[in-house]
Amino acid sequence: MLQDVVEGFVATRPKPREPNVTGRGSTREHFEDLFLAHYARIVAILRRMLGDHARAEDLANEVFLRLYRRPSSQDSDGNVPGWLYRTATNLGIDALRSLARRSRYEQAAARAQSNNQIVENALDRALRTERQLRVRAVLVELKPVQAQLLLLRASGYTYKELADSLAIEPGSVGTLLVRAEAVLEQRYRELYGFEEGL
């Protein structure tokens, strides 16, 4: 009885217009036939390329999504299986390149982090904290624009970003920055004497 209701519902629903996406005179059924005939081989090819079954399935899905969205006018030679395999290998190569790029970035970041991780003992930590407190005390005594300029530059701002943030002429940023550094260094030495590495 439930089956009759479901069949009646399905029969009364209007059938949506199906796009012609896989070539001359093709239908959704033709697309499904192509999918069933080639999906497993495309996944196998991508799995061999990438060594990752889940990623291979994702890319195979992307291949068939591109096929589904592809206008029929692009199918000039009628070789849809050839297009599928070519698209799959191109996506696989792109994924390998992306993985290699990501690996290089991660390795460079790991090297940079390991180079920056110097074992710091308690005395070094105390000296660094003391120097930070002294620099903060000197920054408070500077003109606000000078202190802001030094802090923002130390935070990685470019000259253009400094000019925009502080509403100053871009051509004068370098000069103002040099002057602010000189004032900071002079005032620090007046208060705390000469110190290595400042």
Q: Where are the domains of the chain?
A: 2-116, 122-192
Q: Is the CB of residue 38 less than 8 Å from the CB of residue 84? A: yes
> Is the per-residue pLDDT at 162 higher than 80?
yes
Q: Is the CB of residue 175 less than 8 Å from the CB of residue 147? A: no
Q: Nearest-CA neighbor of 154 among 172, 196, 126, 146?
A: 146
Q: Mean pLDDT throughout 62-74?
A: 82
Q: Nearest-CA neighbor of 96 among 40, 51, 58?
A: 51
The HSE-up count of residue 126 (CA atoms within 13 Å, CB side) is: 3
Using alpha carbons only, how large is the chain's radius of gyration in Å? Answer: 32
Segment among 7-21, 97-111, 144-158 with least mean pLDDT: 7-21
User: Residue 75: what are its φ and ψ, rounded to 5°?
Assistant: -95, 65
CATH of segment(s) 122-192: 1.10.10.10
pLDDT recorded at residue 46: 93
pLDDT recorded at residue 24: 46
Tell me, which fold does domain 2-116 have in CATH? Rna Polymerase Sigma Factor; Chain: A (1.10.1740)
pLDDT recorded at residue 9: 39
What residue type is assigned to position 164 of the chain? D
Q: What is the pLDDT of residues 23-63, one digit of tens each?
A: 444 578 888 999 999 999 999 999 999 899 999 999 999 99
- Mean pLDDT, the chain, rounded, equals 81
Q: What is the DSSP string of 78-144?
A: --HHHHHHHHHHHHHHHHHHHHHHHHHHHHHHHHHHHHH-----HHHHHHHHHHHHHHHHHHHHS-H
Residue 194's pLDDT band (cuts 50, 70, 90): confident
Q: Is the CB of residue 35 less than 8 Å from the CB of residue 64? A: yes
Element of type H or E holding 191: helix 173-192
Residue 114's pLDDT band (cuts 50, 70, 90): confident
